[in-house]
Amino acid sequence: MAIIDLLAILPTFSVVASGFKILKLFRLLRTFRVFKVFKIVRYSKSITVISNVIRKQKEPLLAVCVLAAAYIVICALIIFNVEPDTFDSFFSAIYWATVSLTTMGYGDIYPVSTFGRIVTMLSAFVGIAIVALPAGIITAGYMDEIKKEEETGWT
């Protein structure tokens, strides 16, 4: 963790050494000020709890990611075959499936046939459920961690 502290304070040397041309390299290090955030993370109990939850719930979260990836590929295959004029490449179908799964809906690529629109509606409905699954898993794990802390008296 001392490296993060060092990277956090190095940009201040560029202010002191503004006259030295060799030390102008430290101006690039100003971007390392972002590492100051990691000092806050180190002392935050909530972030520690959330990282423990993610570590403990790794398998269900990975299963949801695999489910989402499989759903994206299946929807892309379906829409690519249903709408060959609209989706000129499989990558554009993958892009559409991802945007539909997350219910973002940019509107730059969209199906024009009735069956393609039905596939889009189904994709959006199932996408809501798939996107909500990780939130439920993390929330349940977080509540378990909080309950364990209350039982052990760490609060």
Q: 41-73: per-residue pLDDT in tens?
A: 777 777 888 888 999 999 999 999 999 999 999
For residue 16, the surrounding DSSP H or E stretch is helix 2-16
3-state secondary structure of 20: coil
93 Cβ neighbours under 8 A, 6+ residues apart: 76, 77, 79, 80, 87
Q: 47-152 has which CATH code?
A: 1.10.287.70
CATH 1.10.287.70 domain range(s) in the chain: 47-152
Share of the chain above pLDDT 70, in %: 77
Tokens (6 digits) for 120: 């889009």
- pLDDT tops 80 at residue 2: no
Share of the chain above pLDDT 90, in %: 37
- pLDDT tops 60 at residue 15: no
3-state secondary structure of 120: helix
- pLDDT tops 80 at residue 20: no
